[in-house]
Structure 1
């Protein structure tokens, strides 16, 4: 690994980024020994770099295999930088439509290593933006989080849910709400993050009935329903099927 020294650059930052570049170029997870062999960084220094990059979520270390992956923070940066990955670009017209119909801020969130992350935000009212910022990681207590808790592979969500449970003491899978969300394909959350702001979310599935992401309408609590019979809920449930059909989903 060649690092060009310059009085106007920070060498340690160059080395850290070169490790990230290495994993990106290899297009597969790497072991510590693989990274050490390819970079020729001393083991003691490489440990410090990997530990720092992992703490910053720029890398992710699988506790079972010990292998290093690109981290969720890079996914957030990529989403923020381009904002038009294929799924997101195909979803955007529907976000616009839902925002116009509901007068709400509408979010599209996708799964990352440590939880769902906001990948796209649309608000037809540019003067009033209610909701998370691009790249925000959402907790299980949010309506988006509930969708991922119910429909995402449990092996992927276990650590994320357990971290939140340590704080809230609640576990959605132990409640009747879990089964209601699975049956009706819609989730509600009253003021999960900000007082007076509530949300309602629907899943988006692909042709294998796998969860691609969640679409969430966010607004002031009095304008967000908390039950399936509300006209807005019915509209979003219908939207769930229409949007998922774009990705080949057929309802069982």
Structure 2
């Protein structure tokens, strides 16, 4: 390879391309490489490689073994890979159940994961009605004021919940939004006990949501599903039955992932 890594696309950014090559080289070199090896094999100066790899270290994409001095791929890549792997497999398993639940109530159903400090929607089935929830796969929302966010938070240790809230804050989006950590903790304790969560016009007035957790074979909450619709179509008297059906749908997906409810 020459001193300048050739870009396959004019729109590529050289520093990013070089960083990608470094990650790929470490992986192909049995997840262990020295600065000299990386420099030699990529045809870059040691100073250039050191600057790039230092930045990758700052973001936990690589780390240096303090005993050997060799660089290895960091846990950040593992975490990201786990999200991708889980979402791909999970979407395939969950989709038929999402379709069934959506058709039952003619409302929008989402499948979501916790990504960083936010909820990210990885699958959805739209309502068949003309008035429906506007959302998109890949869209993100806060955790504290969404039904699916609450079931995901309820599966975390308290210190993790505190860290997320500290990072994102708790902006009061509607008069119904929980905007302090104390009330949120009480809410999450109730969610953990009952196995489902509501968003009763907490992120947007006129919108309601019922969510339940999806658990893996170890009983750990890894995702959540939710059914959302306009408040006038999800009245108070319908909420108990909705909660039961959403929980059952989530449980069916969990069982397909190996979860056993003892």
Q: Please say whether Structure 1 and Structure 2 have the same fold, judged by a TM-score greater than 0.5.
A: yes
Match in the other structure for 1:152:
156
Deviation digits for residues 186-217 of structure 1 (CA, Å, limit 9, x no counterpart): 10113344442232111111232111210011
Match in the other structure for 2:43:
none
Equivalent-residue separation in structure 2 for 1:68 and 1:22 (angstroms): 17
* Residue ranges of structure 2 left out of the alignment (5+ in a row): 40-47, 64-73, 173-178
Cα offset, 1:61, TM superposition: 8.4
Match in the other structure for 1:108:
111
Change (3 A) 1:177 1:159: closer
Cα offset, 1:155, TM superposition: 5.7
Match in the other structure for 1:164:
168
| Residues 144, 216 of structure 1: 8 Å contact kept | yes
Match of 1:16 among 14, 19, 38: 19
Paired residues in the alignment total 236
RMSD: 4.0
| Residues 110, 123 of structure 2: 8 Å contact kept | yes
| Residues 214, 253 of structure 2: 8 Å contact kept | yes
Match in the other structure for 1:5:
6
Match in the other structure for 2:250:
240
Equivalent-residue separation in structure 1 for 2:114 and 2:29 (angstroms): 22
* Residue ranges of structure 1 left out of the alignment (5+ in a row): none
Larger Rg: 2
Cα offset, 1:144, TM superposition: 1.0
Task: Between 146-155 and 125-134, report the one with greater CA deviation.
Answer: 125-134
| Residues 186, 200 of structure 1: 8 Å contact kept | yes
| Residues 228, 234 of structure 1: 8 Å contact kept | no
Equivalent-residue separation in structure 2 for 1:175 and 1:43 (angstroms): 44
| Residues 5, 18 of structure 2: 8 Å contact kept | no
Deviation digits for residues 129-149 of structure 1 (CA, Å, limit 9, x no counterpart): 524321223312211110011
Change (3 A) 1:69 1:241: closer
Equivalent-residue separation in structure 2 for 1:222 and 1:35 (angstroms): 63
Match in the other structure for 2:124:
121
For 1:43-192, what aligned pairs fall within 5 Å after superposition? 43-48=50-55, 54=59, 67=74, 69-70=76-77, 85-125=88-128, 130-141=133-144, 142-154=146-158, 157-165=161-169, 167=171, 169-171=179-181, 175-192=185-202
For 1:218-237, what aligned pairs fall within 5 Å after superposition? 218-224=228-234, 230-237=240-247
Equivalent-residue separation in structure 2 for 1:233 and 1:68 (angstroms): 37
Change (3 A) 1:251 1:228: farther
| Residues 23, 69 of structure 1: 8 Å contact kept | no
